[in-house]
Structures are given as structure tokens and as C-alpha cells.
A = this chain, B = another copy of it.
Amino acid sequence: MEFFFKPDGIALIGATSNPLKGGNAILKNLKKGFKSGIYPVNPKYKQIEDLTCYASIREIPHKVDIAIVFVPGKFVNPMISQCAEKGIKGIIIESSGFAESGREGLQMQKKLAAAAEKAGIRLWGPNCMGVVDIAHKKILSFVSPSIWDTLLAGDVSLIVQSGMLSGAFLIDTMSHQTMGISKVCSIGNKMDVNECEILEYLIQDNSTRVIGLYLESFASGRKFIDICSQSTKPIVLLKGGKSEKGARAAMGHTASMAGNNEIVKGAMAQAGVTQADDFQHMMDICRSLSAYPENFSRDSKKGRIAVLTYTGGAGIVSSDFIDTKNNVEMAELSPSSRDLLEKIFPEWMPVANPIDLWPAVERNGVETAYGTAIKAVCRDPYVDGILIHAFAGGFALNLDIESLAAEAGSARKPLFCWLLGERESAMAFQIRCNKVKVPVFREIFRAVECMNAVFSRQHVTTGQENAAAGDSAGTGAFPVCLPETEIPETSELTILDEFHAKKILASAEIPVTEEDIAQFPETAAQTALKIGFPIVMKGLVPDMVHKTESGLVSLNIRSKQEVEEEFKRLNTDMKHKGNILVQQQIKIDVELIAGLVNDPQFGPCVMLGIGGIMAEILDDALFRVAPITLEQGIEMTNKLKNQKLLNGFRGAAKADREKTADILVKIGRMGYDHPEIREIDINPLVISRGTPIVVDASIIREKNK
């Protein structure tokens, strides 16, 4: 990939002297960034922008690493052989008219990909804005050359699957001096180079500290989260196409396949990726994590925030927001903080958090007031982070943000700033904040959101753990027997019924109900006596999913006689087709649902949710990509929204989270080790006296795998 970022010789195919065209903007940008090695190609010109222009690539008498293409799709294909001849390593196609433009364009794109692969040339794009490397002042893009006036280098790099957007956004961010940027990689249709390769490159890149992505699809979901899991650099994702209609729009836009958002959410949480909802939201989280990429929590609890304000009202609203978040909470100040603050507060004023400093400012001046307060909270062992309210211009509140930042920095406490002010003063203050790496915000809620994101870093599963899970999965020491012969194979997919599904689960040492199939009333009764009353009897009819609704489940059977009678009734109802199951009856405290699905983007994924009647109301389920570790399984039980149900609901025993997690680990391993398992559905997974047990299940197996 290096040659895309540090090319030795660039041919620009589609160079033009018309300043309204992209081919001219690219050339101007190249000229500003590179002292030499820029070769415009266009048979119509001898010279453009004081550079020699060549009629074709062949004629360039110098070394050329990459070509940037800005001509319509149909002209690109014939150039591949010329590029190969010239020894070009990569082509960035910034023009559009490929897969995004319908069937014909898609065909063209496929041919192009094939030709390039054959020639050993890497393709970037098409339909993209290319590369903007602000840290090294190299712009391989048609973004307006006016951007050079406002370039602000930083350590956040972006990967963006939308050309127009990355251009528009970059100009906006730069001209507002919101934050510095390292690289922007616009990947467009990603016909060859995709987000995964660039992500790997940026993780190794010295000038990148945080990576933000806008994606509408994943080239490979599983590879993506594998890379993210290994990254110690924070990664922030805005996934376009979350809702059903959004997904439809994404289809129209890049013909990309949008995934089940719940699976995406679970996979990203698992890989330690922070998810954003909007563009500035993503940028704001990125710059916050760039200032504070580590884990800043003193212990496993929430980040305890002190709010320093000049207005009680904003203090209250900050407190309101902080109290709604998962990873931050309002700090309770220590006695020594209070002592320190009391010295600058007027006598009548009680010390509290939010720390309202205005009366102290009036008495002691802004420097003493804010200075004392920052010292107090920096020394306070009960404070983990600081939100400061600032005003720039207009009245006497000129904060020495550099000193405040230094104080917070040496205490290793993240400092955030909410800023109001007169337009130019606010801009100047914001630039000062950027220089000392204090994230600054125009809205309180966003400042709190970003603090929350910083303090959520502690919850990230480290790369090591995930790698270990992958390794152990590779040992294959996992005795799951798939009964090949017993099941009639009538279709591409085989649905294993409750009895056979549970046999497989049991072979993986997942606890299931004690049970057996009976051929005759008498054997049913024998089985029942062996299991012990009360028992349950079920009629298993091939391909019938809803046993209960079909009247084929009988509970509370308490005698040999009842067993025999029920056997006959079931047999008649089933028209003597299928099997009759005699099963241990389980005391139900809580019904969960667990399973495995195969996602087209992420492969086998483990699911856990609330089951039973509650499931119809609660909509409480989550996913993780398989295989998972025991810790991840326990985390799944901890991340269900309705924790009350697991914590001894209505006098029941608390659910054993480790045993529950163990089942999740095992079904994850089954799905990962056996690609032929398309789906596992355990419904319900009953928590009985605290212990999980599979009461009903089915497995769908693919015939041809």
C-alpha cells in the first residue's frame, strides 16, 4: 500500500487546463505537494500548469509508481496494459460511472478488476476522492485547491466510502479549524483496495493515532473486526444504512449490502469499535479519543466527572446529561477539595459539583478561581475527568486554557471544554484548545457524549484476548457429533428436530433436559419412570415448528397411566407420523433465547436474548461474532438490557452467568468449527434455580457443506 501514500512518480490521466474540471484541481494539488515526478497525461495538450503533458503513459520518460485517473469509465480499461508496461504499481480511479451507475458500469468494473489483477496492479476506487495526506502535505485528490489555505495537520485519519462527502466535509472541517487531520482515504466502490487494507496500513502509520470510518458496507465484516480487535489505536465507525430504509438508500447508492444492524452493533462492541451516529459526531469522538486514547478509569467503575462552570444553569444541564450516560457520573468531591474551594467561594455559598465559579471569579479574579478549582479536582482522588465551561470574548472570563490543560495533563485527567463566545474570540480560543489537545464543543450534550466515549475505553476487549479465542478454536478439540444418518435429507437444508438438535448440543457438553424418544406407550412410561415425574411429552412432527400452538406439548404428566393415555392421544393427533418425546419437566424461573446465526458479512454469530412472553415485549437481544471467550460470554449476559430478570427476579435464584456464558462459548465454537451448521436456535434456554438448561432447540444444517 505504501506506494499509494508515498509514490515515486505520478501520472495523471485526464489532466486538463480547464480550472472548472477535477482533472485540473488534481494537478494543482499534486504540484503543491510534490516537487517533481508529476506527469500530466492528455493527448490534447503539450503543457499544463507549466508541466510537460504526455499523450500517453508510455511516453513518460521517468519512473511512475501510480496513475491517478479522472476520465470516464469506458476509457480506463484500455489503459491497464499500458500501465503494466510502464511498471505502474497502483491506479487511483477517482472518476465515476462504474458499479454505482448500474449494470453496464458494474460489468465494466468487473472487467477492469480482472485485467488489473492479471497485470498485478492494485486499484483504488473508482468513484472516490482519492487520498488527502495532510500530515505530509500530499493531496492526490480533486478536492478544491483552496483547501491548502486552511490545512491543519492532526493525528486523526479517516476512511470514507463517499467521495462527495469526504470532500465537502474536509473543506468544512479545515476552514472551521475544528480539528487537525492526518489522512483522508476516500475508497468509493472499493473494487480492489478496501477499508481493511487501509485500516491495517493506518494502524501501522506513525502519523495516525485514531481512525474514523464512514462505511455503507463491509468488504469483509469478519476481517474488519479481526483487524479492529488487534488495534491499540481507537477506531470510530459511522455505519450508513442502519434503518431498513437507510439500508435501501445504501443499496441505491453503492450497490452495497447493508447488514443486520444488531449484528453490526454487537460485532463492533466486541472489537472495541466506538459507533457514531452522525458525521460531526464521528469527528468529535475521533478528536476526543485522539486527545485521550488510553484507559483513564481508576478502577472498573464509571469515570467520575467534575464540572467547572461560570453559570449554574449550564452546570445543571451538564449534570443532567452526565447522569444519563453509562460510563461517566458526577463526582462527589473529597473533603480536601471542598476545603480548597471554600477558600475562594463566598461564605454563603455551599461547595458542590457542578462547581459554580462565578462568585469566586468576582471575588478573586478568573485566574485564581479557575486555577484553584483545577488544582482541587486534579488532586482529588474521587475525580477522574473534568468538564470546563468557557466563554470567549465579551466579559471577563479569559481562561488560561494552556495552564489548565497542563495541570490536568500532569494529573492524567481528561479535560473537556464547552465553549460559548463571540465568533472570532471563540474561534481563537478553540484553536488554542486544539493546540493543547483539549477537546472543545459548542454543545454540552456532545461534550458529555465524547467524555463517555473516552471513559468507555476501559471496557474494550483487548486484542490479545480475541486472538486467544481464535487460537483455541483452531485446536479443534471439540467433540461435536453431527448425526448424519438418522435424519432424512429431503432438501438443501436439514432442520434437526428438538431431540436430534439436543443430542448434538449435549455432545458439546451443553446441559439439556433429560429425555428420550418412545415408540410405544409402555416404553414411554418406562422412560418417564426413569426420569421421574412430573414429565413433559411432546409430539415431534418433521418440519413442524410450533409444537405448543399445535397442541403437541403436554405438561405436568404425573403417572404411568397418564403417560400411556397421552402417548395415544399424541399419536392420533400426529396421524402416527413423527416421534413422541418423553422429557424431564423443568422449573422455569427465566426464559432466555440463545443461538447461532450465519451472517453474510460476519459469519457465525452467537445470539443471546430474553425469551418467553417477555421476548414479545422487550426486544432485548444481542450478538457477538463467534468464536467468543468466556469473558465475552459473561459480558453478553451483562449487556442484556433487562438485568433484573437475571438477578433473582421475584425471589428466584440469580442466574449463573458463567454457566450461561459457557453455553454461548460452546455454540459459538460449534458454529465456527462446523461451517455446515447454518443456525442454532435454543428457545427457551431456561434458567432453573439459577442454572441454565436447554429445554427446546433446533439446528439447521446445510447439506452441501
Contacts and interface: CB of A to CB of B under 8 A. Distances in A.
B443 A280 contact: yes
Given A172-B421, A175-B423, A317 B278 contact: yes
B613 A101 contact: no
A269 interface: no
Contacts of A105: 348
Contacts of A464: none
23 contacts: A102-B350, A105-B348, A144-B395, A160-B313, A164-B312, A167-B395, A171-B394, A172-B422, A172-B426, A175-B422, A175-B424, A216-B313, A238-B317, A243-B320, A244-B323, A245-B319, A252-B356, A253-B356, A277-B321, A278-B317, A278-B445, A616-B650, A617-B618
Given A171-B393, A395-B144, A422-B175, A313 B164 contact: yes
A43 interface: no
Interface in A94-147: 96, 101-105, 144, 146-147
Given A356-B253, A421-B172, A317 B240 contact: yes
A152 interface: no
A contact patch SS: helix
Contacts of A102: 348-350
A253 B355 CA distance: 10
A442 interface: yes
Contact of A171 (B171, B315, B358, B422): B422
Nearest to A362: B96
Interface string A243-275: 111101110111000000000000000000000
Given A146-B422, A249-B319, 6 more contacts: A102-B349, A105-B348, A144-B394, A162-B313, A243-B319, A614-B617
A615 B246 CA distance: 34
B616 A352 contact: no
Contacts of A175: 393, 421-424, 426
A406 B323 CA distance: 44
Contacts of A356: 252-253
B253 A315 contact: yes
Contacts of A313: 160-162, 164-165, 214, 216, 240, 253
Contacts of A161: 313
A185 to B, nearest CB: 14
A312 B249 contact: yes
Nearest to A106: B348
A162 B312 contact: yes
B281 A443 contact: yes
Nearest to A620: B617
A688 interface: no
Interface stretch (A375-383, A493-501, A641-649, A672-680): A641-649
A391 interface: yes
A546 B184 CA distance: 64
Contact of A420 (B172, B316, B349, B645): B172
A316 B311 CA distance: 39
A644 B616 contact: yes
Given A102-B349, A146-B422, A616-B649, A165 B644 contact: no
Contact of A168 (B167, B250, B323, B420): B420
B394 A146 contact: yes
